[in-house]
């Protein structure tokens, strides 16, 4: 959800998980290329 990101901050609207937005993106990319996101 685009609403989860506010500048450099990522906060999940569903569960409240908070992390730096760029780090969250890097984690998502790493999961996607490793096959863990499936």
**pLDDT computed for residue 22 by the predictor:** 97
Q: What is the pLDDT of residues 1-38, one digit of tens each?
A: 889 999 999 999 999 999 999 999 999 999 999 988 76
**pLDDT computed for residue 28 by the predictor:** 92
pTM of the predicted model as reported, rounded to 2 decimal places: 0.74
Pairwise CA distance, residues 20 & 33, whole Å: 20
**pLDDT computed for residue 38 by the predictor:** 65
Pairwise CA distance, residues 19 & 27, whole Å: 11
Bridge partners for 5 per DSSP: 10
């Amino acid at each position: 959800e685009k609403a989860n990101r506010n500048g450099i901050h990522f906060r999940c609207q569903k569960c409240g998980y908070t992390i730096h937005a760029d780090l969250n993106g890097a984690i998502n990319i790493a999961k996607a290329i490793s096959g863990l996101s499936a």
